Amino acid sequence: MLQVAVLGGDFRSCIIARKLVEKGYKVYQFFSENKLGGFMRGVRVWDQILDPGPQYLDNFNDQDKTLIESFGSEAELIDLKFSYSNYIGGKVSEENMALPSWYNIFNLEKRIEILSERSILSLNYSPNNYKENTLSEFIDLTSGKFLKEYQDNLCEKFLGIRSKNIHSSSQEIIPFVSKRQALFEGNISKNLKLSLAKFDDTLAAPKALVTNSLYNLYPKYGYNCLLNAFEKSLLDIGVDLHKNTKILSIEKENKKFKLISENENIQKLLFDKVYIGFDERLYEKVLLNTNNLESSTVYIPQHFVYIEVPKGSLGNLNYIFNYDLNDITTRITDLYYNLNNSNKTILCAEVCANNKNLIRNEKDKEEIINKSLNEVQSISAKIKNSSQLLKVFKSECITVPKTYRIPRKDYYLKKEKINKEIFDKYGENLISFPYQLTRKLMLDSIKNI
Ligand SMILES: Cc1cc2nc3c(=O)[nH]c(=O)nc-3n(C[C@H](O)[C@H](O)[C@H](O)COP(=O)(O)OP(=O)(O)OC[C@H]3O[C@@H](n4cnc5c(N)ncnc54)[C@H](O)[C@@H]3O)c2cc1C
């Protein structure tokens, strides 16, 4: 029986371990924390564990759902539906759309001009042509001049950086940059999309009008239970789980691999293959003892402002993006599915912790909380069409220094070089997977195991 090691305790590494058992291998899994889950584990606030913003299994299909639920009854998933909105120009969009509703700030004449400009630009668009482009160049090619200025300012607001300093691939997680944009209300967009392929490439319509085979899933009993189910199931099928085991380096001995960690017993094991599920920035350090990818990454620091309010304060929305350039909050998420309270809920407002929003002392913290509260109150009033001030029971702000990992312009060139160095040093039996920005992409990246 082939003996293999899986490195990482995050979502993808757990699925890799499971797939390798199904292939008939003896699997050992190593991770540096005392629990599986990585970022999925959430943050501790008021003696409970809450998600930092939305932590969904979004864009999952039936097959993905079946795979996760096969870990056991505690891994059951529910569909939260894609219920979100956006706030721009002082207006809450009535459509189920996360993208900015540009029709709330640009008049019809300007939108038609934008549509024709974008339709011509998108003719030349092909993702493969833009491997080394900056996000700014991507916006130039797909947006046109009117949207460009606003999008660049949003980049500063959401990420604290200008679009010329980051790689175009970051558009996958930046909600306001996309080949398709919301220039018209949903039904008009849908009809235009159906009428001409070029419009379909250029315009966005609410998800419900486009697809009904993708879900926005969340663990029915919370991530803690889901991750317990992962652990139990992996142990049941024979995975040898090693928690609190950070792998410091890997050595090749004849054709086998030896893992170096502070626990010397691990070094006695020899593996035929090693699979690495965690971030390539981390494994570059482990495998080559260099730091090139990390130095070409912008880690986005964020404040998460938790606000306890009456249930329903965000209507039936899961979250709303705030594209108003005067505000500091970027997204407000209702964490109702995380809680067991029938009257109250907790909203999580995200704020980019850039130079303008740094917290150096208690007074700064209070200011960030108060500004966020005011913005949440005003958006909630608009959603509920009410002049009554939203009642706030309590609030807290937690700062996470590293949230999104945004590649700089030269990231992928460096990555190609690093992958080659790794292959030359370790050969084909050390298998790694590219870091992906969402869990759906993480899952898809290991389809061929
Ligand atoms: C605010 C926010 C909201 C998001 N919302 C969503 C969403 O709704 N849907 C979505 O799909 N994605 C979302 N994401 C992205 C998703 O959270 C990312 O996939 C995540 O940030 C990456 O975390 P991870 O769990 O994959 O890895 P990590 O948390 O980085 O886990 C790494 C794992 O590797 C292990 N490890 C690391 N180094 C070693 C070593 N040397 N030896 C052994 N083990 C090691 C660690 O113990 C850990 O188990 C969001 C991200 C943010 C910041």
Instruction: Kindly give the number of the ligand 1 atom that is closest to the alpha carbon of 12.
Output: 26
Paired tokens of 85: 């909105």
What's the rounded Cα separation, in Å, for the pair 125 and 135? 14
375 & 438 share domain: no
**pLDDT tens digits, 29-77:** 999 999 999 888 999 999 999 999 999 999 999 999 999 999 999 999 9
For residue 335, report the distance from its CA to the centre of ligand 1, in Å. 19
Asked if the model's pLDDT at residue 125 lies above 60, the reply is no
* Structural domains of the chain, count: 3
**Residues in contact with 170: Cβ distance below 8 Å, sequence separation at least 6, in sequence order:** 135, 406, 407, 437
Q: 128: pLDDT confidence band, cut at 50, 70 and 90?
A: low
95 & 206 share domain: yes
3-state secondary structure the chain: CCEEEEECCCHHHHHHHHHHHHCCCEEEEECCCCCCCHHHHCEEECCEEECCCCCCEEEECHHHHHHHHCCCHHHCEEECCCCEEEEECCEECCCCCCCCEHHHCCCHHHHHHHHHHHHHHHHCCCHHHHCCCEHHHHHHHHCCHHHHHHHHHHHHHHHCCCHHHEEHHHHHCCCCCCCCEECCCHHHHHHHHHHCHHHHHHECCCHHHCCCCCEEEEECCHHHHHHHHHHHHHHHCCCEEECCCCEEEEEEECCEEEEEECCHHHHHCCECEEEECCCHHHHHHHHHCCCHHHHCEEECCEEEEEEEEECCCCCCCCEEEECCCCCCEEEEEECHHHCCCCCEEEEEEEEECCHHHCCCCHHHHHHHHHHHHHHHHHHHHHHHCCCCCCCCCEEEEEEECCCCEEEECCHHHHHHHHHHHHHHHHCCCEEECCCCCCHHHHHHCCCCC
Asked if the model's pLDDT at residue 299 lies above 60, the reply is yes
Residue from 31, 437, 442 to probe ligand 1 pocket by mutation (most atoms less than 8 Å from CB): 31
User: Does residue 412 sit within a domain?
Assistant: yes
Asked if the model's pLDDT at residue 160 lies above 90, the reply is yes
279 — phi, psi (to 5°)? Answer: -50, 135
Average confidence score pLDDT of the chain: 92
Q: What is the mean pLDDT of residues 3-21?
A: 97
Quote the pLDDT of residue 17.
98
- Find the CATH number of the domain harbouring 259: 3.50.50.60
88 & 206 share domain: yes
> Which structural domain range is residue 331 located in?
301-401
100 & 123 share domain: yes
Instruction: Kindly give the number of the ligand 1 atom that is closest to the alpha carbon of 31.
Output: 44
- The proportion of the chain whose per-residue pLDDT surpasses 90, expressed as a percent, equals 76
Instruction: Ligand 1: list residues with CB < 6 Å.
Output: 7-11, 30-33, 38-40, 52-56, 58, 246-247, 278-279, 282, 286, 403-404, 438-440
135 & 262 share domain: no
Q: 124: pLDDT confidence band, cut at 50, 70 and 90?
A: low
For residue 299, report the distance from its CA to the centre of ligand 1, in Å. 13
Query: Considering only 200-204, 217-221, 435-439, which range has the smallest mean pLDDT?
Result: 200-204
Q: What is the mean pLDDT of residues 355-363?
A: 90
252 & 352 share domain: no
158 & 287 share domain: no
7 & 35 share domain: yes
Alpha-carbon distances, residue 104 vs 112, 176, 324, 353 (angstroms)? 14, 14, 11, 28
What's the rounded Cα separation, in Å, for the pair 40 and 12? 11
User: Does residue 78 sit within a domain?
Assistant: no
Alpha-carbon distances, residue 94 vs 66, 141, 175, 328 (angstroms)? 33, 29, 17, 22
Burial of 270 (0-12, 13-18, 19+ CB in 10 A): middle
Paired tokens of 435: 């870091």
Give the residue, by CA position, lying nearest to ligand 1 atom 15: 438
For residue 69, report the distance from its CA to the centre of ligand 1, in Å. 20
The interaxial angle of helices 108-123 and 135-142, nearest 10 deg, is 110
For residue 279, report the distance from its CA to the centre of ligand 1, in Å. 8
Q: What is the mean pLDDT of residues 156-160?
A: 94
User: Does residue 21 sit within a domain?
Assistant: yes
User: Does residue 167 sit within a domain?
Assistant: yes
Paired tokens of 443: 């899952």
291 & 414 share domain: yes
Paired tokens of 244: 């609190």
The tokens 């949903």 sit on which residue?
Answer: 186
**pLDDT tens digits, 369-428:** 999 999 999 999 999 998 889 999 999 999 999 999 999 989 999 999 999 999 999 999
92 & 180 share domain: yes
**Residues in contact with 380: Cβ distance below 8 Å, sequence separation at least 6, in sequence order:** 309, 313, 314, 390
**Whole-prediction pTM value?**
0.92
User: Does residue 75 sit within a domain?
Assistant: no
For residue 68, report the distance from its CA to the centre of ligand 1, in Å. 17
The tokens 């029709």 sit on which residue?
Answer: 103
User: Does residue 235 sit within a domain?
Assistant: yes
168 & 26 share domain: no
User: Does residue 139 sit within a domain?
Assistant: yes
Residue from 7, 262, 278, 437 to probe ligand 1 pocket by mutation (most atoms less than 8 Å from CB): 278
Instruction: Kindly give the number of the ligand 1 atom that is closest to the alpha carbon of 400.
Output: 53
Q: What is the mean pLDDT of residues 265-281?
A: 96
269 & 305 share domain: no
